[in-house]
Amino acid sequence: MTKDNNYKIKRMVINFYLFFILLMIFSIVFLERKTFAKGDLTRLSPIEVEVLMKGKKGGVHYFEPSVLKFETGKLYKLEIKNISDSKHYFTSSDFVNSIFTRKVQVIKGKNKIAEIKGYIREVEVFPKNIVEWWFVPLKTGTFDDLFCKVFDKKSRKTHKEMGMVGTIIIE
Ligand SMILES: [Cu+2]
């Protein structure tokens, strides 16, 4: 009877220590992560923003929405989705001069097929494809120079002339 009780007490003590050790490990990992995110802005989980490239050859071409808003110091994942029948450019030199690009990811279907790192000046997306632009805005401003430079052979105009322009606001 006493042997049995001794054994139970021992087990309880061991369990208590195990629980305590696990708790220590979890708190260390959690605190480490917090410090890490605080120091490295690119390691934050991104805020997802979507912009669609829409239109029809010979008709209209446009960005939806045509106004994009961001805030400095936050990590964004801008999903540029071409859901039209033409290729499109996402070009804004004021924008690229005001951000830090972490990476650009190329998505095919549901799979990520490429990751490009370094300074990015503009992005071209082919029909029915998605490109993700991961960046941290650094400078505030209102930039009216977003446009698409592709030439529409049917209408003999550029997409910009047909309305494919936009504004990027960094607050
Ligand atoms: Cu276009």
CA 87 to ligand 1 centroid distance, Å: 6
**Predicted local distance difference test score (pLDDT) of residue 37:** 56
CA 132 to ligand 1 centroid distance, Å: 17
**Band (36; pLDDT cuts 50, 70, 90):** low
CA 67 to ligand 1 centroid distance, Å: 16
CA 80 to mean position of chain CA atoms: 10
**Band (89; pLDDT cuts 50, 70, 90):** very high
Residues in the 5 Å CB sphere of ion ligand 1: 61, 88, 148, 150, 159, 164
CA 128 to ligand 1 centroid distance, Å: 13
Q: What are the backbone dihedrals phi and psi of residue 83, each rounded to the nearest 5 degrees, phi first? A: -110, 25
What span, in angstroms and rounded, lies between the C-alpha atoms of 109 and 82?
12
- Here the tokens at position 171 are 């607050």
DSSP assignment of 113-147 equals EEEE-S---EEEE-TTEEEEEEEEE-S-EEEEEEE
CATH, range 44-170: 2.60.40.420
Looking at the DSSP assignment, which residues form a beta bridge with residue 137? 99
Q: Summarize pLDDT for 152-161 with one digit per residue, the tens.
A: 999 999 999 9
CA 19 to ligand 1 centroid distance, Å: 59
Q: Summarize pLDDT for 104-161 with one digit per residue, the tens.
A: 999 988 899 999 999 999 999 999 999 999 999 999 999 999 999 999 999 999 999 9
* The pLDDT of residue 61 is above 80: yes
Mean pLDDT along residues 71-90: 97
Q: What are the backbone dihedrals phi and psi of residue 4, each rounded to the nearest 5 degrees, phi first? A: -60, -45
- Locate the domains of the chain by residue range: 2-39, 44-170
List, in sequence order, every beta strand (DSSP E) within the chain: 47-55, 61-64, 67-70, 76-82, 88-91, 99-108, 111-116, 122-125, 129-137, 141-147, 151-152, 157-158, 165-170
**Predicted local distance difference test score (pLDDT) of residue 3:** 64
**Predicted local distance difference test score (pLDDT) of residue 101:** 97
The pTM for the full model equals 0.77
CA 40 to ligand 1 centroid distance, Å: 35
CA 91 to ligand 1 centroid distance, Å: 10
CA 88 to ligand 1 centroid distance, Å: 4
CA 51 to ligand 1 centroid distance, Å: 13
**Band (1; pLDDT cuts 50, 70, 90):** low
Q: What are the backbone dihedrals phi and psi of residue 62, each rounded to the nearest 5 degrees, phi first? A: -160, 160
The fraction of the chain above a pLDDT of 90, given in percent, is 73
